[in-house]
């Protein structure tokens, strides 16, 4: 019987710790005055406030929006904390935040906030990183189908009314595209889960 090699030579607690820090930053920003200076706003970006490309992903419209995104981050952590190292996760989150911020620049939006674009990218990367497992194939497939369904159904989704804002499907697509671009070089000859 062929013995499988372990998937996680890194410390999963570091990955969970990093996700906890991201969640705490999002909650802290929500309950502070930082939201105004961190929100992705086209006019502020034009005036040179480039950090908003990244920090806009950490700002949320309201408590429900924050809770939905934190639930998504929690699910990601529970599913993938053993499969993605903290170092890879730091690079991935920063990359996805930049990609989502830049993708939104080319859209019609004047302002954007929320972690969902990054979350779509995290789930896609997680699914691709574990594609050799049955759950990885399923996660990659479900993430792809959900993004396509969101794009086709547009703002008719019940979540839009609950959130109280338009859903930025462009950000979701940007997150998935960013994950695909990040995954390809990291998977060519190197082990993404180490």
pLDDT tens readout for residues 153-163? 765 566 666 67
Domain regions of the chain by residue span: 12-187
**Residue partners of 23: CB distance under 8 A and separation at least 6:** 70, 73, 74
Mean pLDDT of 16-45: 93
SS3 177: helix
Taking a C-beta distance cutoff of 8 angstroms, is the pair 176, 121 a contact? yes
pLDDT greater at residue 90 or residue 7: 90
Residue 139, exposed/middle/buried by CB under 10 A (0-12, 13-18, 19+)? buried
**Residues sharing a CB contact under 8 Å with residue 20, sequence separation 6 or more, in sequence order:** none
What is the Cα–Cα distance from 11 to 145, expressed in whole angstroms? 32
pLDDT: which is higher, 31 or 133: 31
pTM, two decimals, is: 0.83
Homologous superfamily (CATH) of 12-187 is: Rhomboid-like (1.20.1540.10)
From residue 145, alpha-carbon distances to 37, 61, 70, 161 in Å are 35, 26, 22, 22
Query: Does residue 116 have a pLDDT over 60?
Result: yes
Burial of 30-64, coded b for 16+ CB within 10 Å and e otherwise, reads: beeeebeebbbbbebbeeebeebbbbbbbbbbeee
Q: Are the beta carbons of 38 and 56 closer than 8 angstroms?
A: yes
């Amino acid at each position: 019987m062929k013995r499988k090699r372990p998937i996680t030579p890194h410390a999963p607690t570091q990955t969970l710790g990093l996700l906890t820090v991201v969640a705490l930053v999002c909650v802290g920003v929500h309950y502070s005055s930082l939201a105004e200076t961190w929100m992705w706003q086209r006019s502020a970006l034009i005036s040179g406030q480039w950090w908003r490309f990244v920090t806009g992903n950490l700002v949320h419209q309201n408590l429900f929006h924050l809770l939905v995104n934190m639930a998504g981050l929690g699910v990601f952590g529970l599913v993938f904390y053993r499969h993605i190292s903290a170092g890879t996760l730091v690079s991935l989150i920063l990359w996805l935040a930049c990609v989502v911020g830049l993708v939104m620049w080319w859209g019609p939006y004047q302002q954007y906030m929320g972690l969902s674009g990054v979350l779509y990218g995290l789930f896609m990367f997680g699914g691709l990183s574990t594609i050799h497992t049955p759950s990885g194939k399923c996660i990659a497939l479900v993430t792809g189908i959900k993004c396509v369904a969101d794009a086709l159904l547009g703002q008719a989704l019940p979540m839009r009314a609950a959130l109280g804002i338009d859903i930025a499907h462009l950000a979701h697509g940007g997150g998935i595209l960013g994950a695909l671009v990040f995954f390809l070089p990291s998977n060519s000859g190197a082990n993404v889960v180490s």
